[in-house]
Structure 1
Amino acid sequence: MLDRYNRPVNGVRISLTPSAKCNFRCIFCHMEGVYENTDTSMTPEEIERVMRVLKKFGIESVKLTGGEPMLRNDIVEIVERLHGLNFKEISMTTNGTRFPQLAKRLREAGLSRVNISLHTVDPQKFCWITGTRSVDGENRLRYTIDAIKAALDAGMETVKLNVVVMKGVNEDEIDDMINFVKAFGHDNCILQLIELVHEGEASSAEFFQKYYYNLGPVEEAIKRRAIKCVTRKLHLRRQYLLPENVWVELVRPMRNCDFCMNDSRIRITHDGKFKPCLMRDDNLVDFLTPMRSGASDEELERLFLKAVYLREPFWKPNDVRPLEEIVIDREDC
């Protein structure tokens, strides 16, 4: 289906836990690692029901996120239930700490892809970024590395390493990360470089100005090195194949109208609300309260259609980056 701006809506991103429910407390995130025991998250049955309704509208893919989705003890059941609805793709974003033990079971349950957060390969820096200060820092990094290996060994179709690039923190590690991925020797292991987003703790101007690192020049340098380039429909993201046989993808949402105009996902919060826009929280559409009050599937469909109607590009052509920041032309690589 299409929204008012003629953008297809064919993917759903579901937060399985509150943003604050995570065993890390990354400096750029949303107070992860600090959460109460009370939880208003959807049950596996409720997730299955709403996704069965959305499947009627042509939803093809599901991305599971958090917080940290692996903190849910019923994560395998959730994947199994979604797989039973015959989506083309079920993927997950995780910090990886609890992934190795369940990698094989998740793959068998129907998980096809996984994004694993790895913002540095330096053990001490890893502890600082993730808020997991410990003299055992190297072992904490090892948990994430073990998760990458487990995902590859389990036969995941794609394993992406998410790196939020920050000025003065890890912008000097990009080549190290490329070599890190190369060492795995898998074509389906992709390095994903992500610009810092102006939200959550990063919403303070001081924090953002201190750590924001424009990936424009980085993308231009990677483009020059690349031997192949493909453009994904989602956000018009480009993936570059380097001579090292490593794929690199860049995610640049800030002041990027291409990102918004090619966003085909709608988001669902952990507590059962449709979230029409990644960058906004003022137009959420609650469906869990009506569902728990006995709403029919037809009523849930109407709530979904309302959320689709509310979809609007956050960044529009008049909001694009200043000319000096636009370093990637509109031609094919």
Structure 2
Amino acid sequence: MLELTYRCNLKCSFCYLLHKRRLNKAPYELTTAEILRLVDRFKAGTHFYLSGGEPFLRNDIFEIMEYIKKAGFRFGLNTNGTLLDAVKIKKLAALAPGYVIFSLHGSRPLHDRLTGLKGAWRSLMRNMSALAAISGSGTEILVNCVVNRENSGELLKVYRAASRAGAQRVVFEHLQFLKPREASGMPAVLKAGGIIIPELEKYGADAALIHRQFGEIRGLKDRSAHFETRPLMTERCLDDYYNGEIKPSGSCARVLDALNVEPDGKVRLCVLYGLKTGHALATPLKDLLAFKKKYIGRKLPSGCARCCHRFELFRYF
């Protein structure tokens, strides 16, 4: 994951950057030349996931994508969809990324409220539809919805809206957060490095409602888009997830095959932990991997309780 910027034109209420006071506050961003040097460090077969913040706030975003493409790497990106226009959509389609993920979190009124921008839903839907209409078969149009207590009754609406706009896959990922006691059980070195997701003492959600919404989506006869979730949970597990405490078990599906590079080039332990493992332009890749194995490669710390990235996506249909 290459986080190109922490700047964003939205202020989603559940955004970890907002909760951790990182939104629009990155002290330094890698220059275009530095990012291209970073790309050159990796071997064939590397997959670049471009994220933010909002990647389209970088004036060099297309230069970066073109370079990755010409170098023969696979890549995709995540966007809130509001900053695209006809010219950018045409250029993006021509680059044929493996996927484009649009963030959609509710019906028009709710999405606009959650993102803090009136008109965000309308812009997103218009631009996603336009890209879907001209993209080739090699580009998958996805929607990612962060399930939370605010939109737990609108998941069916999200699926239907995404399908109408041309999404080929709709992914519902549960909000990542920690209860204070879960955070307190982490090793001291991880505490010192900080945790990326918010700590929410009294957070809760209607697990039965979420379960019913998923059931209604599964019962649809018009299944024009795939329906996926992460992690897969029963109603009882959903209740524990949102309203109880969680102890992580098993292993992580992503910890040893991914690097998380922040806008300034520093590499953090994983998507969840802020502990720095080196710099993407200087630290040998084998050393970055060894650091990961040392701290989370064997037993998952308590901070991993609600990290969706340690699970594989589950496809209902």
TM-score higher than 0.5: yes
Q: Distance in 2 between matches of 1:315 and 1:216?
A: 32
Deviation at 1:314, TM superposition (A): 7.4
Q: Distance in 1 between matches of 2:224 and 2:51?
A: 29
Deviation at 1:140, TM superposition (A): 2.8
The CA RMSD measured in Å over matched residues stands at: 3.7
Task: Report if aligned partners of 2:269, 2:275 keep a CA contact under 8 Å in 1.
Answer: no
Q: Distance in 1 between matches of 2:123 and 2:218?
A: 34
Deviation at 1:153, TM superposition (A): 2.3
Counterpart for residue 151 of structure 1:
131
Deviation at 1:26, TM superposition (A): 0.7
Task: Report if aligned partners of 2:197, 2:272 keep a CA contact under 8 Å in 1.
Answer: no
Counterpart for residue 309 of structure 1:
290
What secondary structure, in the 3-state scheme, does the structure 2 residue paired with 1:311 have? helix
Using a 3 Å threshold, how does the CA distance of structure 1 residues 282 and 24 change in structure 2: closer, same or farther? same
Deviation at 1:218, TM superposition (A): 6.6
1:209-243 deviation digits (Å, cap 9, x = unpaired)? 235969994798489759xxxxxxxxxxxxxxx75
Task: Report if aligned partners of 1:194, 1:252 keep a CA contact under 8 Å in 2.
Answer: yes
**Residue 206, structure 1, aligned to residue 192, structure 2:** no
1:312-331 deviation digits (Å, cap 9, x = unpaired)? 44794796979xxxxx9x9x
Task: Report if aligned partners of 2:99, 2:141 keep a CA contact under 8 Å in 1.
Answer: yes
Question: Aligned residues: percent identity?
Answer: 21
**5+ long unaligned stretches in structure 1:** 1-12, 227-241, 289-299, 323-327
What secondary structure, in the 3-state scheme, does the structure 1 residue paired with 2:276 have? coil
Deviation at 1:256, TM superposition (A): 5.9
**Residue 260, structure 1, aligned to residue 252, structure 2:** yes
What secondary structure, in the 3-state scheme, does the structure 2 residue paired with 1:77 have? helix
Task: Report if aligned partners of 1:215, 1:252 keep a CA contact under 8 Å in 2.
Answer: no
- 1:85 is matched by which residue type in structure 2? A
Q: How does 1:288-327 map to 2 (within 5 A)?
A: 288=281, 300=282, 303-312=284-293, 313=296, 316=299
**5+ long unaligned stretches in structure 2:** 179-194, 233-240, 242-246, 307-311
Using a 3 Å threshold, how does the CA distance of structure 1 residues 127 and 178 change in structure 2: closer, same or farther? closer
Deviation at 1:59, TM superposition (A): 4.1
1:170-222 deviation digits (Å, cap 9, x = unpaired)? 111122222223324x4x62111011112779623236x23596999479848
Using a 3 Å threshold, how does the CA distance of structure 1 residues 39 and 249 change in structure 2: closer, same or farther? same
Using a 3 Å threshold, how does the CA distance of structure 1 residues 201 and 174 change in structure 2: closer, same or farther? same
Q: Distance in 2 between matches of 1:35 and 1:321?
A: 28
**Residue 179, structure 1, aligned to residue 164, structure 2:** no
Task: Report if aligned partners of 1:65, 1:93 keep a CA contact under 8 Å in 2.
Answer: yes
What secondary structure, in the 3-state scheme, does the structure 1 residue paired with 2:41 have? helix
Counterpart for residue 293 of structure 1:
none
Counterpart for residue 146 of structure 2:
164
Which of 194, 197, 206 is equivalent to 2:176? 197
What secondary structure, in the 3-state scheme, does the structure 2 residue paired with 1:205 have? coil
TM-score (norm 2): 0.72
Task: Report if aligned partners of 2:152, 2:206 keep a CA contact under 8 Å in 1.
Answer: no
Counterpart for residue 115 of structure 2:
130
